[in-house]
A and B are shown apart, each in its own frame.
Chain A
Amino acid sequence: MNKYFHSVELEADKCCGCTNCLKRCPTEAIRIRDGKAHILSERCIDCGECIRICPHHAKRARSNSIDEIENYKIKIAIPAPALFGQFNNLNDIDIVLTGLRAMGFDFIYEVSRAAELVSEATRQLIREKKLQLPIISSACPAVVRLIKIRFPELCDNVMPLLAPMEVAAKMARREVISMTGLSDDDIGVFFITPCPAKVTEINAPNSSEKSAVSGAIAISQIYPELTSKMDKLKVVEPIAKSGLIGVGWATSGGEAAAMLGEKYLAADGIENVIRVLEELEDEHIHGVDFIELNACSGGCVGGVLAVENPYVAQARIQNLRKYMPVSLNHLEENDLDLMMWENELTFNAESFRLSEDIIEAMDMMEKMEEICKNLPGLDCGSCGAPTCRALAEDIVKGNAKETDCIHKLKARIQSVYDQLGNLK
Chain B
Amino acid sequence: MSNIHLHYDVSGEDFTRAGEASGSVKKRLKALGYNTDAIRRVAIAMYEAEINMVIHAEGGFVDVDIFPDHVDVLLSDHGPGIPDVEKAMQEGFSTAPDNVRNLGFGAGMGLPNIKKYTDDMRIETEIGKGTDLYLTVRVKE
Contact = CB atoms under 8 A, between A and B. Distances in A.
A153 B33 contact: no
A153 B26 CA distance: 12
Given A358-B68, A359-B68, A349 B33 contact: yes
Which residue among B23, B33, B66 has the maximum number of chain A CB atoms within 10 Å of its CB?
A: B33
Contacts, number: 56
Contacts of A211: none
Nearest to B1: A359
A281 interface: yes
A352 interface: yes
Contact of A362 (B2, B36, B43, B44): B2
A370 to B, nearest CB: 11
From DSSP, what is the main secondary structure of chain B's interface residues? Answer: helix
A363 B2 contact: yes
A227 B120 CA distance: 66
Interface in B13-52: 22-23, 26, 28, 30-34, 36-37, 39-40, 43-44, 47
Interface in A247-279: 278
Contacts of B23: 278
A359 B36 CA distance: 16
Interface in A143-195: 150, 152-153
B40 A365 contact: no
Contacts of B40: 153, 281-282
B37 A362 contact: no
B2 A153 contact: no
B3 interface: yes
Interface in A350-369: 352-356, 358-359, 361-363, 365-366, 369
B47 A282 contact: yes
A358 B68 CA distance: 6
B101 to A, nearest CB: 14
A362 B47 contact: no
B30 A362 contact: no
Interface of A: 150, 152-153, 278, 281-284, 286, 347, 349, 352-356, 358-359, 361-363, 365-366, 369, 393
